[in-house]
Structure 1
Amino acid sequence: MMNKKLLFLLLGSSVLSAQTINESAAATKVSGKTGINTKVPTRTLTIQNTDTNQGKPVLRLVDTPKYSENINSAMDAALGGNTQSTTKHSDYRHLVVNSVGDVYQGIPMTNNTGVINLVVKQVNEDWIETFDTGIDYNKYTVALLSYTLHTPQTEPGKMPMLTSSNNLPNGKSTINGETYDLSKTAAPVVYLKNHNGKWAIHADYPNLGLKNFTLPTAQNPQRDISGGSKGYGDWEFYLLVGKRDYLPSQRIEFNMNKASTKAGTSDANYSAKLNDLLNKLD
């Protein structure tokens, strides 16, 4: 008993393990329980490690069959049990152990994430201000894997093209005596956002529009110099979706203060939020 008290004092009074129990009370409740290396089992089966086995697992299963070996077998037929008929991972569950050694049935054997291939058709030229996916923002984490703007032909005899806005300056730049037209190329702006508690998508080519232009023909070889008619594009997205419980996310902001090179961990707030997320993955 002295050794147990000394160990408890060394570890601290806040320590709780599977062995810090009231043995006197537990000894009166061992009926129907089996203990290995202990005379005071506290669960239906309690396994206590030995001094000579410290640092090693207390349980080893030898020649354990793979989960799929029970498919369509009759191993439980004599006992009146049901046979397993599929190999779906979701039919099986891991065992999970809490901090005091109690074992529970875990979540199904899946990675708890899925990929949605979302195609949003006939948008206003190239512009999606807000597309509500219907996915609960607080329950799920969504990550944007990729996106593509498709420009289908929506008018016979016309070709869809992204064109720059008339509001863009037609400026020029002189470098080393050479004059160049300024580029009107625009990068797409695509991001996810919270819209009324749902995950939503914004997608756009700023200052560009999808227009349809008449193709030259043998009868009319002239190129179309009009402003074109309105086109309607299709956006395609690949979204990774998972429950927030298993796929945590964290919004982190960092101010570069007009510099081009910085380390995020130089900011205490950045480091705190980063570590908060990383600790959830341990």
Structure 2
Amino acid sequence: MKVLLTGSSGQVGYELARSLQGVGEVVAVDRNVMDLSDLDQVRDVIRRVQPRLIVNPGAYTAVDKAESEPELAHRVNAEAPAVMAEEARALGAALVHYSTDYVFDGAQPTPRVEDDPVGPLNVYGASKLAGERAIVAAGIPHLIFRTSWVYGMRGKNFLLTMLRLAKERDQLRVVADQHGAPTWSRTIADVTAQVLSQAHAGGHAWWEQNSGVYHLSAQGQTTWHEFTQAIIEEAGLSCQVEAITSADYPTPARRPQYSVLSSERLMARFCHLPHWKEALQLCMR
């Protein structure tokens, strides 16, 4: 099976390029080959590769910058997935896509399930939700994995930023009133590979039974403040971490106060997900 992997230089795409090796013949492309803001290029690459499966971790992920670049965020996060879905339908291919906890408004302090009402608070969340809906509307075999607070040891992410700042400063001030589940990019990739192995074994009937939206995030929950404390402790650093409120640290994009995702549906059907602290320890080792 030929697999087209987008965004292969990103933190999730890089891990997927490794995890998907056992799934099929992986054609991994980064933005130099397939720029998701160039919809004609997206079409051309898919038509040239002729994949049986498209895996799309590529995205516009600069949450605050999206507020000033809404058209670009929408093109990459909504229009490009729509084009992928159209091309997949023409090829008889399946599509795996990644979305975000930011499709929810965070008003209710209970873990969100897949069918809960959505209500994004920012441009990024709205653009990702539009991408989800375009894929579903195409009527193709698909998996949409919503994940949260993604980090890893490459790219730009919260973990690497906090490690850098903790080495430069004696004290950090970090928001303590936003709740979520930090999820290691390798966890996302490995779970995807496990699910796709099952899909490959199950064939067309598997996709008919299992297509849909699934929450894929680490177990447990924490705050950015507690996450930072865990990072610093694991790294053996001595930086102090002060808890502040979202109001103390205003950003261009509003964040949901509570965006914990329930991954029970995915775990009941496919495989277990680790606790966020366990994954963080493995990542940093």
- Normalised by the size of structure 1, how large is the TM-score? 0.16
Question: Which of the two has greater strand per residue?
Answer: 1
Question: Which of the two has greater helix per residue?
Answer: 2
- Normalised by the size of structure 2, how large is the TM-score? 0.16
Please identify the structure whose Cα radius of gyration is greater. 1
